[in-house]
Structure formats: structure tokens, C-alpha cells
């Protein structure tokens, strides 16, 4: 193989566009921003979100939350038709377990758990049989010690331990049941229900109730299933289908035995609980007994003096009844609710107050223990009542009449549906106003009411204003700032949807005044203020209006610590851009406000800021920059960009956006403006780019700058950009950090450099410089300077591309131009000297490629070598002058090499050959024949 081949490019005489072209009105790559921003295209947006969401790995906690939300939404859909109580109960059940937790130590008393200290079960007995003498007593106590079922008390359990113990008892019941120790199972169940009379750790009581009610349910199911099996074998028979008359004597007898056992339980609470858990089983005696039994139980619960214990047993009764009768059971909810209302004042007994006081519970915490229970009773009741409004009226009157009506009021407000509550809202507010000073549940009531009002239909009328004024009177006297903000949140939404901007502004001013007056550090409440602001932004019909209120920005900037301020700014910007309908923001006040927020965001960035944070901040600022528009005032717009550059210097991505924006500005203004703008813009970008961190980005922007400069025929500027670009090439890293991973850059680099080479075709040469093809030669020198690995595909691909460019540069007329720029074809007119320089470069590159070929062969990279050989071969037959002997022989050598590596059946080789075959020129024919000979 000869070591030197001189490259000669062929001059194509007949240069004509052979590609089909058609006229279009739109740029095919233009992004359709408008569509995305419009509300009408919600579905599109949604589908986009859906797509994007599947790519993002969802935080597992968030996923649970979403699942919960999905679960929660289900019952509300169903509530119109038949209500599935067991499903709703399971939702409520989870809610209770999550809400009522404790860090206090718990106590469990049971004889079926290991450990714990013994307590004598005789104390109760001794009182009854008082005529036992001391000796007998002592002996009995000793006997008791030996008895395995002696009662043990385990104290100091944590909540988790307690839960585990309860589950253990549940398992114990099942185990005992399976081993035919049914009485033992029964005893464990009784002991479980006894635990419910203990209110020593009140804030855990609702959860305890839930846990134990599950145990009782399981026990009831065991009994029921066994009786069913005894009666009907394994036949799958539903409760409704059981005919008491068909139950065999033995099953009936067993059932009766259970009932007798249950009826003889000494203590009231376990007896009631056990009867409820066995309620289903009455069906084996007589179906008609169940309903009277429920009615009896409802009244028997009156015997429970402790209001907390009493209401939860009512909850259990309703739960059992609803499982039995479904829709029919709703009357029992109502009956129980009525009973509860009769006993309502028990809750406020001084004795209870003493008890919860001793447990360091606050009054509102104490009252909140009742809420899930009342909710449940009210829920079932509401489903029976045909006219909810009358019931609401009745209950409200009751609230008016009774003392301490707040708990009831809260449950009414949260339990009823919005339309009815809205109808009665002023009455409710009046009731609240009357006793606002002593209410401990004031803020939950008000915020619940506010939430209802948020659902009101849009109507601007006097009543809303009156309502809001009354509300403000109550609220502005509230002592606790946290509560104030909690209430403010829904009401501000109400105000935003219903009231005028002036009104909202007044409320905001009032809020600021309140916050300042309260004398507590405002930063403690920053998250709450944030929620309020977020609520406002989300609910106000026109977001921009909010920025026009003079009290809005002061409220946003009420918080002082940098962290809180950043969070606030971020929230506001996020929601604002989410809601903002218009593509452009033109109002100066809004622009200034947003600028302020963006600056806050920017200020918070420092060396330790995490990448995600940076990304979010820069995305927000980018959005801001993109939306701000000064319409036709390009000078203002440019000034704005200058200002932004100085304000957001820390964020690369923002600078990038700015450069793009400036180019866009220059481009937009081109036809009508004088050249100063394009120059200013070009200068802007040239000055801005060096401050970027990433070399790759810088290179891209330089190239873009060059393009933009060429478009406005600023050749000097373009050249400067390209020169900077070339000098940057060695600095481009092999890898860049992207989403926390190192990603190789070479694909990007190939694209970028190819783009650059294509640009060079247009760029006129610098006539002042001594060398021809000034930039290109600079580039080639740079390429030589970099120590590439010869076998790197990046390297030889670039060499091939450069070869392509060199061939094209030798043409008399280039294949593309830009209007107003005189390219080298016209500049030199295929001058001999210029062509020589180019051919010289081409020869060198060709030489280098042959070296690469050899290196590939040495490295045993056969596939790559084969491809490269063919690529080069292709360039020779396409672009080389085949009349030159050196070219032909090189082509033949390459072909031979390729055939040696792989046979000619390869698709690529075949295509090349067939193309050559079609070549009509004499030289082509000659070469083709020669190739066939070999």
C-alpha cells in the first residue's frame, strides 16, 4: 500500500438543487407554546402530565398518599346509590388509627399474655362473698396463684407494643378456637372488651377501640361460622338466606348456650360488647330477635357513665348493625345519635375535665376524641333523613339552646353536605359568634365552614360580604396565631372566589396587621402563611389581579429568614406559572413583583445548594424570563435582559435562556430595526457566554451566536464567535453530569462540530489574515493538538466530515448561502492558491485517515476498519477526482482492503457498488471494471 496519496477534489459543473422542495407557512420545528398554555387544552396537558409522570419515579411515601387519596375518593362517588358501610368504615378505621396515637405508656390486663405482674382477681369476689374468713381467703388467693388463668397486668407498654399485644390476643383467640378451647377464646374476647373501659390514656382511646373492635369482630365471626357449619355444613349460605326454622336442634342449642354465657357476664361493658359481636348469631335462634336486641342495646348503653366509652360502644353497635342490615340499619344510627345528644352534657362533666386534665390533655384535644365517633353516627343518620335541611335546622336549634355546643357544631359543619351548610351559613356563624370566646374548637369549626363556603356557586352578593365581615370580627379576636392562619386559609379562598379585589385586599391588610400585632416571630408561621398564599393563588380567578393588590407582596415578604423567604418565593412562582393563562406578562407591577421573588430565589443559592433545588429555581426564573414581554419596545426588553443577567449570574441555565431570548429578540426585530439592535444583541451574547461554567454549553452558544451574527450579516462578530468556539474545543469534557450521572459527550460533540463545519462553508474568509481558510485551518490545527485516540470513532468521523467540507469548499458555487453574506466561492472565485491550500489539507486528512485505518487493523477492530474503509472509498468515488491516478489506486486499495475484511455481500458495500455502476462518467466506468477484476 503506497503511503502517500494526493487528494484532488472533483469540481461539479452542474450544481443544481436536486432535492424536492415545497413551500410552507410554518417552521416545521416551531414549538406550539400557545396551545399548551390555554385552559381549553386541559386534557392535552393532563395527558402530557400522565406521560411524564410515568417516567418520574414516584416517591414511595407520596405513592401511598396518592393511593389513600384514591381510596378516599371512592366512597364519595358511591354515596348516592347504596352505601357500602363496611368500606367506609375501613376508611374511617385507618384514619382513626393514623390520627389518634400516643407516646404515653399503656397498660394491658389479661390472663393470656406472658409476663406482667399478677393481680388478684379475687378482690371483686371477696366483696361479694364477705362471709369468708381470713384463712379461707388466703388459701383461695394461693390457689389463684397456681391457676394459669390468673390475671396479669403489663404496664409501661409503648403504643407499638400494645398493638402487638392486641394482635397476640387475637391470634390467641384463633388458636384456642382451633384447639376446641372455645370457652378460653370467649374469655379472651371478654378481657379484650374490658380493656375498653380503661380510659387512662385517652388520646389513644379511639385507636384502641378500633383495634379491639377488630378482635371482637373476628371472634364473632368464628362463632358465627361454626354455627353455620353446624347448621348447614359447608354450603355457602348468606346471612339473609338463613331460615331460623331450618336450623337443627343442636346448632340452636349451642347458640343458646353462647347467649346464656354472654348474658351472665358480670360487667356491663364486656356484656354489651360481646352481645354485639354475637348479634349475628341470633339468626340461629330466631331472626326476629335481632332487631329488638339492637333496640334494647341502644338503651342499655345509657348505663355507661363515661361519655367516651359510651359513644364508642355506640359506634360499634352501628358498625355491627350496618354490617347486618346495610341500608336498613340507618335508623339505628339515628337512634344512637339521638341517645348521644341526650347524654351530650356528660362530656363536659367536671369529673371528665379532671381526668383529661390529669392526663395533660387540652380541651380541644379531648373533644377531638369524640369527633370520629360523632361523624360516624351522623354519617349514617344523614343517609336516612330525606330532608337534611330540617335535621340541620333541628340540630342548629339544639346547638343554640345547649351549653358547650361547639363539639356538636363542629361535627354538624363537617358532617353535612356543602349546599345545606351554605344555606345556613349565616345562622351558623351567628351561633359561633355568640360563644366564640369560650370555644376551644373555634378554629376547626370556622375552617370547616370556610371549606364548605369554598364550594359555593359563584355569585357576588351582599350576603358573602356580610358573612366575611362577621367572620372577620370573630377571627380578629382569636388568641392563637396558628389557629388564625388555619381559619384564614379556607376563608381567603372563599373571599377570592366570591368577593371583590378590594375586599380581598382589605382582608390581606387585616392579616398583616394581625400578624404584626400578635407579637410572635412571624417566621414560626411561615409554612402556614405559605399555605394561605398558595390557596389564594390557586383560587383567585385571575392570578395577575393578586399582584395588583397592594397588600399581597408585603404579605408574601412578611417572613424574614432566608429559608422561609425562599420557600415562599418558590411557592408563589410555582403556583403563579401554573395558573397564569397569558403567554406574556406585560404589566410592570407584576414584572417587578416577580423580579423581586426571583431575586429572593437567586439570593438563596450558594455553594451547598443541591442540584434539584438549582434546577427548580432556574426553571422558575427561566419561565419568568420567557414570559416577560415589553411588546415592541425592544430597548426596554434588552434592558430587562441586561438586568436579569446581572441579577441571576449564579445560574448557568438562566444565562443560557437569556442568550436564547436575546437571539430571539434580535431575530424578531430584524426586519424593522436598525442594525444597532442586532449588534447590541450579538455583543450581549458574546459577553454573556464566557461566564457559563460548562464548556459544552459555551461552545453551543458560541456557535449559535455565530449563526445569529451571520443571519444579520455581522461577519466580524460571527468570526469572533467561531474563533472562540475553536479555542474551546480542547476544553470540552468527555463526560458531563446530567441527572446525577456521568454521560459521555461525544454524540453531542460530533453533532456540534458537524454543525460548526457546515457553518464554515458560509463564513467568508478573513481577508486580512495571512492564511487562507483562516478558521478552518485553526480548527485543523486544534484537532492536531488534541491527543485523540486514533481508533476513537469520534476522531475519524470528524476527519471524514472535515474532508466533506474541504471538498465542498473547492466547488465553484457552494450548495447553500445566506442572503447578504458573501461566501468564499464568490470571494475567491475558485482561486488557484485557495484551492491548493484546501487540497493540501485534504491530502493530510486523507493521510491521517489511512493511519487510523492501520491503527484500527492493529487493534483488531475489524468492523470499524471495514466501515471506515468503505466510507473513505465512498468519498473518493463521490467527491474525489477519479481522473487522478492516485485517487483511483487509493479507491481500489480501499476496496480490496474492505473485501479482505468482509465479503462484498454486505449491504453497505453493495449499495456503494451499485451507485458506482450507475456512474456514467468514463472514469467511474473504468474504476468499476477494475474493481470487478480484483
Residues that bind another protein (CB under 8 A): 128-129, 131, 197, 249-250, 253, 259-260, 263-269, 271, 296, 299-300, 302-306, 309, 342-343, 345-346, 349, 351
Which of 309, 555 has the CB closer to another protein? 309
86 or 250: CB nearest another protein: 250
Q: How far is the CB of 211 from another protein (least distance, A)?
A: 21
- Alpha-carbon distance of 521 to 515, in angstroms, equals 9
Query: For the purposes of burial, counting CB atoms within 10 Å of the CB of 901, is it exposed (0-12), middle (13-18) or buried (19 or more)?
Result: middle
> Quick one: 299 or 500, whose CB is closer to another protein?
299
Q: CA of 788: how far to CAs of 541, 782, 791, 805, 848, in Å?
A: 60, 11, 8, 21, 12
* CB of 374 or CB of 628, closer to another protein: 374
CA angle 196, 201, 206 (to 5 degrees): 55
| Nearer CB in complex with another protein: 275/871 | 275
What are the angstrom distances between the C-alpha of 8 and each of 11, 14, 886?
A: 9, 18, 9
334: closest CA among 321, 324, 353?
A: 321
What sign does the CA torsion over 564, 570, 571, 573 have?
positive
Q: Which residues of 741-768 are buried (b: 16+ CB within 10 A; e: fewer)?
A: eeeebeeebeebbbebbebbbbbbbbee
Is residue 442 within 8 A of residue 406, CB to CB? The reply is yes
Closer to another protein by Cβ: residue 78 or 267: 267
Distance in Å, CB of 255 to another protein, minimum: 12
The rounded distance, in Å, linking the Cα atoms of 62 and 58 is 7
Strands (DSSP E) found in 614-745? 735-738, 741-744
Residue labelled with grid coordinates 416551531: 30
Those residues with Cβ within 8 angstroms of residue 716's Cβ, 6 or more apart along the chain or in another chain:
none
Q: How far is the CB of 523 from another protein (least distance, A)?
A: 47
Minimum distance, C-beta of residue 194 to another protein, in the bound complex (Å):
11
Smallest distance from another protein to CB 471, Å: 35
Cell numbers 390457689: residue: 143
Least distance in angstroms from the C-beta of 313 to another protein: 11
Nearer to another protein, 405 or 539 (CB): 405
Q: How far is the CB of 329 from another protein (least distance, A)?
A: 21
Q: How far is the CB of 307 from another protein (least distance, A)?
A: 9
What does residue 117 show for φ and ψ, rounded to 5 degrees? -90, 150
What is the residue whose three cell numbers read 491548493? 836
Minimal CA–CA distance to 489: which of 522, 455, 443?
Answer: 443
Instruction: Decide whether 302 or 743 has the Cβ nearer to another protein.
Output: 302
> Smaller CB distance to another protein: residue 307 or 705?
307
- Smallest gap from residue 345 Cβ to another protein (A): 7
SS3 309: helix
Strand pairing category for 735-738 and 106-110: unpaired
Considering the complex, what minimum distance in angstroms separates the CB of residue 302 from another protein?
5
Distance CA 320, CA 224 (A): 13
Nearer to another protein, 131 or 606 (CB): 131
At its nearest, how many Å lie between another protein and the CB of residue 393? Answer: 25
Nearer to another protein, 192 or 724 (CB): 192
Taking the least distance from each CB to another protein, the nearer of 301 and 803 is 301
Looking at the Cβ atoms of 275 and 839, the one nearer to another protein is 275
Cα–Cα separations (whole angstroms), residue 289 to 228, 301, 368: 17, 18, 36
The C-alpha torsion from 890 through 891 and 892 to 893, rounded to 10°, is 50
Name which of 763, 653, 743, 628 is nearest 703 in CA terms.
Answer: 763
| Residues making up the chain, counted from first to last | 934
Burial (Cβ within 10 Å: 0-12, 13-18, ≥19) of residue 82: exposed
User: Alpha helix locations (H) across 499-561?
Assistant: 501-517, 526-539, 543-548, 552-556
Going by C-beta distance under 8 Å and a sequence separation of 6 or more, which residues neighbour residue 847? 4, 5
Cell of 674: 436598525
Shortest CB 289 distance to another protein, Å: 12
Minimum CB–partner distance for residue 310 and another protein (Å)? 9
CB of 129 to another protein, least distance (A): 8
Give the DSSP letter of residue 58. Answer: P
Q: Which CB, 304 or 396, lies closer to another protein?
A: 304
d(CA 321, CA 327): 10
Give min distance, CB of 352 to another protein, in A: 9
Phi-psi region of 870 (alpha: psi -120 to 50; beta: other; left: phi over 0): alpha
Q: Which residues pair with 110 in a beta bridge?
A: 152
Cβ proximity to another protein, 296 vs 743, nearer residue = 296
Q: How far is the CB of 179 from another protein (least distance, A)?
A: 23
Q: What are phi and psi of 58, to 5 degrees?
A: -80, 135
SS3 of 215, please? helix
Least distance in angstroms from the C-beta of 349 to another protein: 7
Q: How far is the CB of 481 from another protein (least distance, A)?
A: 38
d(CA 690, CA 783): 22
Q: What is the CA 343 to chain-centroid distance, rounded?
A: 46
Give 264 or 606: the residue with its C-beta nearer to another protein. Answer: 264
Which cell goes with 869? 474503509
Three-state DSSP class for residue 585: strand
Comparing CB distances to another protein, the nearer of 211 and 309 is 309
Taking the CA atoms of the chain, what radius of gyration do you get in angstroms?
42
The helix or strand, by DSSP H or E, that contains position 156, with its residue range, turns out to be strand 152-157
Q: Which is nearer to another protein, 263 or 389 (CB)?
A: 263
Amino acid at each position: 500500500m503506497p503511503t502517500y496519496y494526493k487528494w484532488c477534489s472533483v469540481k461539479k459543473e452542474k450544481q443544481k438543487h436536486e432535492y424536492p422542495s415545497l413551500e410552507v407557512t410554518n417552521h416545521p420545528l416551531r414549538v406550539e407554546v400557545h396551545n399548551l398554555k390555554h385552559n381549553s387544552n386541559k386534557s392535552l396537558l393532563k395527558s402530557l402530565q400522565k406521560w411524564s409522570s410515568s417516567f418520574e419515579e414516584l416517591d414511595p411515601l407520596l405513592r401511598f398518599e396518592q393511593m389513600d387519596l384514591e381510596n378516599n375518593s371512592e366512597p364519595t362517588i358511591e354515596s348516592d346509590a347504596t352505601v357500602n358501610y363496611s368500606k367506609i368504615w375501613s376508611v374511617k378505621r385507618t384514619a382513626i388509627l393514623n390520627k389518634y396515637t400516643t407516646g404515653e405508656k399503656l397498660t394491658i390486663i389479661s390472663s393470656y399474655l406472658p409476663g406482667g405482674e399478677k393481680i388478684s382477681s379475687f378482690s371483686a369476689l371477696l366483696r361479694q362473698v364477705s362471709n369468708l374468713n381470713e384463712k379461707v381467703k388466703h388459701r383461695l388467693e394461693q390457689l389463684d396463684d397456681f391457676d394459669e388463668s390468673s390475671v396479669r397486668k403489663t404496664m409501661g407498654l409503648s403504643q407499638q407494643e400494645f398493638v402487638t399485644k392486641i394482635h397476640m390476643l387475637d391470634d390467641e383467640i384463633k388458636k384456642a378456637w382451633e384447639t376446641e378451647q372455645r370457652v378460653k377464646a370467649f374469655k379472651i374476647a371478654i378481657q379484650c372488651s374490658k380493656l375498653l373501659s380503661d380510659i387512662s390514656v385517652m388520646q389513644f382511646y379511639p385507636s384502641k377501640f378500633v383495634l379491639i373492635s377488630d378482635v371482637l369482630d373476628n371472634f364473632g365471626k368464628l362463632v358465627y361460622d361454626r354455627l353455620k357449619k353446624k347448621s348447614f355444613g359447608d354450603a355457602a349460605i348468606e346471612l339473609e338466606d338463613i331460615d331460623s326454622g331450618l336450623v337443627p336442634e343442636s346448632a340452636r342449642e349451642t347458640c343458646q348456650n353462647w347467649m346464656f354465657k354472654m348474658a351472665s357476664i358480670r360487667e356491663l361493658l364486656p356484656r354489651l360488647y360481646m352481645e354485639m359481636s354475637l348479634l349475628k348469631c341470633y339468626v340461629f335462634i330466631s331472626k326476629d330477635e335481632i332487631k329488638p336486641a339492637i333496640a334494647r342495646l341502644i338503651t342499655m348503653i345509657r348505663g355507661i357513665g363515661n361519655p367516651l366509652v359510651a359513644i364508642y360502644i355506640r359506634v360499634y353497635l352501628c358498625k355491627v348493625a350496618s354490617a347486618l342490615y346495610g341500608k336498613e340499619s340507618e335508623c339505628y344510627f339515628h337512634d344512637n345519635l339521638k341517645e348521644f345528644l341526650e347524654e351530650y352534657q356528660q362530656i363536659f362533666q367536671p369529673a371528665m375535665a379532671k381526668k383529661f386534665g390529669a392526663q395533660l390533655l387540652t380541651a380541644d384535644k379531648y373533644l377531638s376524641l369524640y369527633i370520629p365517633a360523632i361523624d360516624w353516627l351522623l354519617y349514617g343518620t344523614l343517609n336516612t333523613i330525606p330532608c337534611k335541611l330540617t335535621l340541620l335546622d333541628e340540630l342548629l336549634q339544639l346547638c343554640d339552646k345547649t351549653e358547650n355546643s361547639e363539639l356538636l357544631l363542629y361535627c354538624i359543619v363537617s358532617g353535612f353536605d356543602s349546599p345545606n351548610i351554605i344555606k345556613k351559613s349565616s345562622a351558623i356563624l351567628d351561633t359561633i359568634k355568640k360563644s366564640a370566646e369560650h370555644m376551644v374548637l373555634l378554629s376547626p369549626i370556622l375552617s370547616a365552614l370556610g371549606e364548605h363556603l369554598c364550594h359555593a356557586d359563584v355569585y357576588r352578593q351582599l350576603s358573602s360580604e356580610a358573612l366575611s365581615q362577621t367572620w372577620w370580627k370573630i377571627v380578629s379576636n382569636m388568641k392563637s396565631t396558628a389557629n388564625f392562619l388555619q381559619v384564614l386559609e379556607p376563608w381567603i379562598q372563599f373571599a377570592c372566589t366570591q368577593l371583590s379585589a378590594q375586599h380581598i385586599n382589605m382582608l390581606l391588610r387585616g392579616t398583616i396587621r394581625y400578624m404584626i400585632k400578635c407579637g410572635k416571630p412571624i417566621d414560626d408561621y411561615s409554612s402556614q402563611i405559605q399555605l394561605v398564599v398558595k390557596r389564594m393563588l390557586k383560587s383567585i380567578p385571575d392570578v395577575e389581579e393578586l399582584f395588583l393588590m397592594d397588600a399581597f407582596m408585603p404579605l408574601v415578604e412578611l417572613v424574614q429568614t432566608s429559608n422561609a423567604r425562599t420557600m415562599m418565593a418558590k411557592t408563589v412562582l410555582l403556583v403563579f406559572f401554573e395558573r397564569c393563562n397569558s403567554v406574556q406578562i406585560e404589566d410592570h407591577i407584576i414584572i417587578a413583583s416577580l423580579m423581586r421573588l426571583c431575586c429572593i430565589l437567586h439570593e438563596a443559592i450558594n455553594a451547598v445548594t443541591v442540584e434539584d433545588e438549582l434546577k427548580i429555581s432556574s426553571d422558575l426564573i427561566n419561565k419568568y424570563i420567557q414570559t416577560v414581554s415589553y411588546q415592541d419596545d425592544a430597548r426596554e426588553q434588552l434592558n430587562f435582559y441586561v438586568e436579569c443577567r446581572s441579577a441571576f449570574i449564579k445560574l448557568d441555565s438562566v444565562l443560557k435562556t437569556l442568550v436564547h431570548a436575546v437571539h430571539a429578540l434580535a431575530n424578531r426585530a430584524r426586519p424593522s430595526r436598525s442594525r444597532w439592535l442586532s449588534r447590541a444583541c450579538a455583543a450581549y451574547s458574546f459577553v454573556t457566554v464566557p461566564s457559563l461554567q460548562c464548556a459544552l454549553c459555551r461552545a453551543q452558544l458560541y456557535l449559535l451566536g455565530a449563526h445569529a451574527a451571520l443571519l444579520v450579516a455581522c461577519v466580524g462578530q460571527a468570526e469572533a464567535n467561531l474563533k472562540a468556539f475553536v479555542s474551546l474545543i480542547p476544553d470540552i469534557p468527555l463526560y458531563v453530569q446530567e441527572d446525577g450521572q456521568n454521560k459521555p459527550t461525544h454524540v453531542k460533540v460530533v453533532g456540534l462540530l458537524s454543525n460548526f463545519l457546515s457553518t464554515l462553508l458560509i463564513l467568508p474568509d478573513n481577508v486580512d489574515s495571512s492564511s487562507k481558510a483562516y478558521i478552518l485551518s485553526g480548527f485543523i490545527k486544534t484537532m492536531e493538538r488534541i491527543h485523540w485516540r486514533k481508533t476513537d470513532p469520534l476522531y475519524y468521523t470528524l476527519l471524514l466530515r472535515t474532508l466533506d467540507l474541504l471538498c465542498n469548499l473547492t466547488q465553484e458555487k457552494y450548495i447553500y448561502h445566506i442572503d447578504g453574506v458573501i461566501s468564499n466561492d464568490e470571494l475567491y472565485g475558485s482561486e488557484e492558491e485557495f484551492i491548493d491550500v484546501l487540497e493540501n489539507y485534504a491530502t493530510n486528512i486523507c493521510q491521517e485517515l489511512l493511519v487510523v485505518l492501520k491503527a484500527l487493523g492493529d487493534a483488531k477492530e475489524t468492523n470499524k476498519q471495514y466501515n471506515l474503509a468503505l466510507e473513505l472509498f465512498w468519498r473518493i468515488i463521490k467527491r474525489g477526482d477519479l481522473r487522478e491516478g492516485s485517487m483511483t489506486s487509493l479507491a481500489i486499495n480501499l476496496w480490496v482492503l474492505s473485501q479482505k475484511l468482509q465479503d462484498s455481500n454486505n449491504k453497505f458495500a453493495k449499495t456503494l457498488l451499485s451507485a458506482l455502476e450507475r456512474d456514467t462518467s468514463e472514469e467511474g466506468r473504468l474504476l468499476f471494471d477494475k474493481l470487478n477484476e480484483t
